[in-house]
Each structure stands twice: as C-alpha cells, then as structure tokens.
Amino acid sequence: MYVAVKGGEAAIDAAHAWLAEERRGDPAVPAPTVAQLREGMALAVDRVMAEGSLYDPDLAALAILQARGDLVEAIFLLRAFRTTLPRLAASRPVDTGAMRADRRVSAIFKDVPGGQVLGPTFDYTHRLLDFALAAGVDPPPAPGAPADPAPLPRVAEALGAEGLLQPEPPGDATPPDLTREPLELPAPRALRLQVLARGDEGFLLGLAYSTQRGYGRTHAFVGELRTGAVSVEVEIPELGLAIELGEVVLTECETVNQFAGSRTEPPQFTRGYGLSFGRAERRALAMALVDRALRARELGEDLSGAPAGDEEFVLGHCDNVQATGFLEHIKLPHYVDFQAELELVRRLRREAEAARAAGESAGREAAE
C-alpha cells in the first residue's frame, strides 16, 4: 500500500548539517576569520553593506562567511537582521561636501579646485594576475597620503554659479522612508534614490549601460566622483546639540547631463545622483545614470521604449532580495496547482481528439 511521503523535518535537519560541513570546507585548511574577510574582501563587504542597507563591516563580513561568498545571500542575511533592529534615531543629513575624500575625480574639467585625486583605484592597473599575492608577499609601503585631507569644493558649484546647471534647492521636508512605508508609485525622486541605493549592482549596471547604448540616452558626463569618510551626527533634543556618532565611508557620483529645455525650464545641464555605502564606484555611477533616466517624466523627455526610463519597471525589479526570493520560490512544491493544470490539459486533449474523430467520421460519410 502507498504510504504518503513524510520526513520533511528530518530532511531539513540533515540538509542544514550538510551545508555547515560544506561551508567549513577542508578541515585541514584554516577557516577564514571575519576579520580576514573584512580586511581582504573589503569591496565585497562594501557591496553587502550597501545592498543590505546596514553599515556594519563586521556583520557584513560574517554574512559573507555564512553565505559561503554568495553576496546576494549575504545581503539577504543582513537585511533580515536589519528587520530586528530598533530605530533609535535618524541622523542629520550627512554632508558629503565636507567629506574627507581620498579619491575625487572630475571628467568635465582638466583641473578642478582641490585637484584630481586618484586614490586607491583599479583604474590604471593592468589586469594581470599577480602571483606575488598567491605567494603571500606584502606590498611595499605607498607614498604618504595627507593624513587628514582638506574638504574639496564641489565641481558642480562652478557650473551652478554660471546658472548652467539646474539647481537642486535644499529642502527641509522629511523624505519618505522605503524601509518604513510601502513603495507608492509614482515615486518622488527621494524615494527613487532610496530604492536605487539598495538596488542590485548588476541590474543597475545593465540599465545604466543600456542608456549609453541608445535605450534612453541622457548624455551623461561624470561631473564628480568622490570617495571618503563623512561623519554621522545625531541631534539630541534634550541637549539641544548634535553629537558625532562616528564615520561612514561613502562614494558619491554626480553626473552632468544635457537637457534641451521644456515647457517650464530653459536649456541647461541637469544632474543624476548616485550615493553608496563604502567604495562602490560602479554602483554610484550606474545609480546616477539610472536616476537621471528616471527623471525623464519630470523633465518632459520622451524615453518611451527605454527600460531605464520606466519607473515602475526599474523600481519594481531592482531589489535582488525580492528578485532572488521570488525567482527561487518556483523550487517549492507547486503540485496542487499543477494537478489542476494537468486535469485541464487532459480534458482539452480528450475534447480535441473527440472533435477530430467526429470530423473524420463525418468526412467519411460525406465521401460515401
């Protein structure tokens, strides 16, 4: 007699134990520590913090270790942990103008006040595998960087002074909070930027790239790209002053884009904006291009047919925690619905077969 499949509980326990063993790998090789991952995999840690929306390098490194290096899984772990954290306060807006930048470049001027600062970039390295790393050779010390770099003036201010750049007036309005309120469409720019800031880097990269290849071209120039530490301050109402909690490293990108003018605006340059936790130039650039593409409606531009300019498409699909969960849920059993489909297809086939048979016999009768 048939016995219904049982044993879900035991199977799950066994699978978890097996996973833990695989995670550990060869016991003869020392396991990587959280500190090693935090230091040696710093850019992976930065990505997990950015898309996990939680600035904590140690937790991000732990998530990477637990996820066996699967960054989307690590981001998911960090997000789920984030859910459990109480919100004690909101910081004052960070001042990226006062950033202690160790890298700052502008592509629109040969030189800028404060200078072009290359910083620790891959940009001009030759992409040759370095076997010295495998041998564990420590690098020679780098020429001394200024211990405490001075704040650099923003490149955009030079254009803004001439009135060539659409101003972004400061506002005191509290922006909507994606993590506390549902995403409502159409979304204001502040909300769009929040979605993009935690959006999947690969998705943003593809979208930004598509605008460069003609699917919603916005003619972007890199006005300025800067990376460095900014201080985070919290207002203490009882004390009537703000105290500094610490620093976070951010990457900020401002693009300068052509704009022909609209019903209400004269021809001028407009901006796209990207901001990310950590060192994350690719995501900051991509975010700025997508942000600019999503301003098409507000600026009266026609980007129809361009995925990057389609707010519902972009905002609805850029979160990799949502995307991977929903994609992978098709692994779950669906046999109840499949049974219903199975019955339907069988019925349709029976009916089609009957109709064909009836047609044939009618044809024979007609021929006789």
- Choice from 28, 29, 30, 84 touching other proteins (CB under 8 A): 84
Q: Quick check: 222 and 106 in contact, CB under 8 A? A: yes
Q: Looking at beta carbons only, is 207 or 321 nearer to other proteins?
A: 321
Smallest distance from other proteins to CB 58, Å: 16
Q: Looking at beta carbons only, is 109 or 338 nearer to other proteins?
A: 338
Smallest distance from other proteins to CB 197, Å: 15
- Choice from 33, 36, 179, 258 touching other proteins (CB under 8 A): 179
Q: What CA–CA distance (Å, rounded) separates 272 from 173?
A: 20
DSSP letter (8 states) at residue 198:
T
Footprint of other proteins on residues 311-350 (CB under 8 A)? 312, 316, 321-322, 324-329, 332-337, 339-344, 348
Nearest by Cα to 182 from 199, 200, 194, 197: 194
Q: Looking at beta carbons only, is 244 or 302 nearer to other proteins?
A: 302
Q: Looking at beta carbons only, is 40 or 186 nearer to other proteins?
A: 186
String of DSSP letters for 142-154: PPPPPSSPPPPPP
Written as six digits, the tokens of 258 are 């052509």
Q: Looking at beta carbons only, is 105 or 314 nearer to other proteins?
A: 314
Q: Looking at beta carbons only, is 51 or 252 nearer to other proteins?
A: 51
Residue 79 in the binding site for other proteins (CB under 8 A):
yes
Q: What CA–CA distance (Å, rounded) separates 174 from 177?
A: 9
Q: At what angle do helices 320-328 and 71-83 cross, to 10 degrees?
A: 110
Footprint of other proteins on residues 230-269 (CB under 8 A)? 261-263
Smallest distance from other proteins to CB 34, Å: 19
Instruction: Please report, as a single letter, which amino acid is at residue 214.
Output: G
Q: Please tell me whether the peptide bond between 307 and the residue prior to it is cis, using omega within 30 degrees of 0.
A: no
Footprint of other proteins on residues 47-76 (CB under 8 A)? 76
For residue 254, what are the β-bridge partners? Answer: 224, 273
Q: What is the dihedral of CA 181, 174, 91, 226, to 10 degrees?
A: 100
Footprint of other proteins on residues 295-314 (CB under 8 A)? 312
Q: Quick check: 272 and 79 in contact, CB under 8 A? A: no
Smallest distance from other proteins to CB 87, Å: 8
Q: What CA–CA distance (Å, rounded) separates 272 from 225?
A: 12
Q: Looking at beta carbons only, is 142 or 330 nearer to other proteins?
A: 330
Environment class of 202 (CB within 10 Å of its CB; exposed 0-12, middle 13-18, buried 19+): middle
Footprint of other proteins on residues 119-178 (CB under 8 A)? none
Q: Looking at beta carbons only, is 83 or 125 nearer to other proteins?
A: 83
Q: Looking at beta carbons only, is 244 or 341 nearer to other proteins?
A: 341
Smallest distance from other proteins to CB 19, Å: 14
Smallest distance from other proteins to CB 214, Å: 23
Smallest distance from other proteins to CB 233, Å: 24
Task: For the chain, report the end-to-end CA distance as a whole number of angstroms.
Answer: 53
For residue 89, what are the β-bridge partners? Answer: none
Q: Quick check: 239 and 268 in contact, CB under 8 A? A: no
Smallest distance from other proteins to CB 258, Å: 17
Smallest distance from other proteins to CB 335, Å: 6
Q: Looking at beta carbons only, is 84 or 125 nearer to other proteins?
A: 84
Nearest by Cα to 254 from 269, 233, 268, 232: 269
Smallest distance from other proteins to CB 301, Å: 12
Element (H, E) at 21: helix 8-24
Backbone φ and ψ for 158, nearest 5 degrees, come out as: -65, -45
Q: Which residue ranges make up the site for other proteins (CB under 8 A)?
A: 2, 4-9, 11-12, 76, 79-80, 82-84, 86, 179-186, 261-263, 312, 316, 321-322, 324-329, 332-337, 339-344, 348, 351
